[in-house]
């Protein structure tokens, strides 16, 4: 072979070698992304509608890619069975009561399957297990919801437009406030009145604060009543004394009422004397007779003193009384 042919063969061999290296690197890269060279287990899920998911789509768990969709096949009459290859390292986090849900990587991104973690008390999944399905909101449902929201927003804006138009024409309370100058003046006056009321309230508050400060001044009666236990005890004792006095006065009043009732009764001597006119007349006559008898008795005693038989007795008696008076004066 000539030198030119050898050179050509070397160049072709280099290109073939570089192509093989690039091919192997691509295979390794794609296999790494799709977890082809990682130990994995197989999980399955049966959906009523996979919404365009394909083999090779990603499988996520808690936002982390843990596998890929390896196979899609019909199951039964109208369902679809999806087979997933899951990293064996992620097996311990997925429990038998976990659920699979269709989702997408972003709002309009690629389709994917999201595995929702189960409870820790359930055992972990095993190779070939089938996961339950969680209901997913399809894009069509999202669009329907958006359409309904758009209709509601349109209705709200229409109503607001009608309300604002009515307000501009002076309809309703707000319209009257916006267009009626008299109403505006009343609101302005109301605001002034509120300001005056708030100022009065502030003055009252200041006065109350000043009064409470005076109550806190030592030496005043109010402060002693509030803080000095001795003054409070004396005041309490005085109040008790007043209560006792009032009770005694009430008792005395009751006694006076009972006495007056007895005086008004004709069943006792005093009541008879006060209320019975005939008895009073008799008592008056008796007193008159007693006065008359006393007068006559005095006259008889005077006559006896001048009688010669008793004159000596009365003189001796008078002398004895005179001596007693002299003794009393000397003792003084």
Q: Do the beta carbons of residue 122 and residue 97 sit within 8 Å?
A: yes
What is the pLDDT, as a whole number, of residue 68?
A: 92
What is the pLDDT, as a whole number, of residue 131?
A: 93
> pLDDT tens track of the chain, all 332 residues?
566 777 777 777 787 888 888 877 776 666 555 555 568 899 999 998 888 889 989 999 988 999 999 999 999 888 999 999 999 988 899 999 999 998 887 666 788 999 987 888 999 999 999 999 987 665 666 677 778 888 888 888 887 777 777 666 666 666 666 666 676 777 788 888 888 888 888 888 888 777 777 666 666 656 666 666 666 677 777 778 888 888 887 888 777 777 766 656 666 665 655 666 676 677 777 777 777 777 776 666 666 666 655 666 667 777 777 788 787 777 76
User: How far apart, in whole angstroms, are the C-alpha atoms of residue 59 and residue 113?
Assistant: 5
What is the pLDDT, as a whole number, of residue 212?
A: 73
What is the pLDDT, as a whole number, of residue 81?
A: 94
SS3 per residue for the chain: CCHHHHHHHHHHHHHHHHHHHHHHHHHHHHHHHCCCCCCEEEEEEEECCCCCCCCCCEEEECCEEEEEEEEEEEECCCEEEEEEEEEHHHHHHCECCCEEEEEECCCCCCEEEEEECCCCCCCECCCCCEEEECCCCCHHHHHHHHHHHHHHHHHHHHHHHHHHHHHHCCCHHHHHHHHCHHHHHHHHHHHHHHHHHHHHHHHHHHHHHHHHHHHCCCCCHHHHHHHCHHHHHHHHHHHHHHHHHHHHHHHHHHHHHHHHHHHCCCCCHHHHHHHCHHHHHHHHHHHHHHHHHHHHHHHHHHHHHCCCCCHHHHHHHHHHHHHHHHHHHHHC
What is the pLDDT, as a whole number, of residue 59?
A: 93
Q: Answer whether 0.75 is exceeded by the pTM.
A: no
């Amino acid at each position: 072979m000539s030198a030119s042919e050898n050179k050509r063969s070397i160049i072709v061999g280099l290109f073939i070698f570089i192509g093989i290296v690039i091919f192997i690197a691509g295979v390794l890269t794609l296999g790494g992304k799709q977890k082809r060279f990682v130990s994995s287990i197989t999980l399955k899920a049966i959906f009523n509608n996979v919404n365009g998911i394909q083999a090779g789509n990603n499988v996520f768990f808690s936002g982390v890619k843990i596998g890929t969709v390896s196979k899609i096949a019909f199951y039964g009459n109208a369902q679809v069975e999806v087979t997933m290859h899951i990293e064996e390292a992620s097996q311990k986090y997925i429990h038998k009561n976990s659920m699979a849900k269709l989702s997408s990587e972003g709002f309009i991104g690629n389709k994917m399957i999201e595995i929702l973690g189960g409870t820790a008390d359930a055992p972990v999944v095993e190779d070939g297990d089938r996961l339950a399905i969680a209901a997913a909101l399809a894009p069509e449902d999202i669009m329907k919801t958006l359409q309904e929201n758009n209709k509601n927003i349109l209705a709200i804006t229409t109503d607001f437009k009608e309300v604002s138009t009515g307000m501009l024409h002076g309809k309703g309370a707000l319209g009257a406030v916006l267009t009626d100058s008299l109403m505006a003046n009343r609101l302005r006056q109301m605001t002034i009145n509120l300001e005056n009321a708030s100022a009065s309230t502030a003055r009252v508050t200041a006065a109350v604060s000043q009064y409470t400060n005076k109550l806190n001044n030592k030496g005043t009666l109010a402060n002693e009543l509030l803080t000095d236990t001795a003054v409070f005890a004396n005041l309490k004792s005085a109040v008790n004394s007043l209560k006792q006095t009032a009770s005694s006065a009430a008792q005395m009043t009751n006694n006076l009422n009972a006495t007056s009732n007895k005086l008004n009764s004709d069943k006792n001597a005093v009541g008879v004397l006060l209320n019975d006119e005939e008895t009073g007349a008799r008592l008056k006559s008796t007193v008159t007779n007693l006065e008359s008898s006393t007068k006559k008795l005095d006259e008889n005693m005077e006559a006896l003193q001048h009688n010669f038989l008793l004159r000596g007795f009365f003189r001796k008696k008078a002398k004895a009384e005179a001596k007693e008076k002299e003794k009393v004066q000397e003792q003084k």
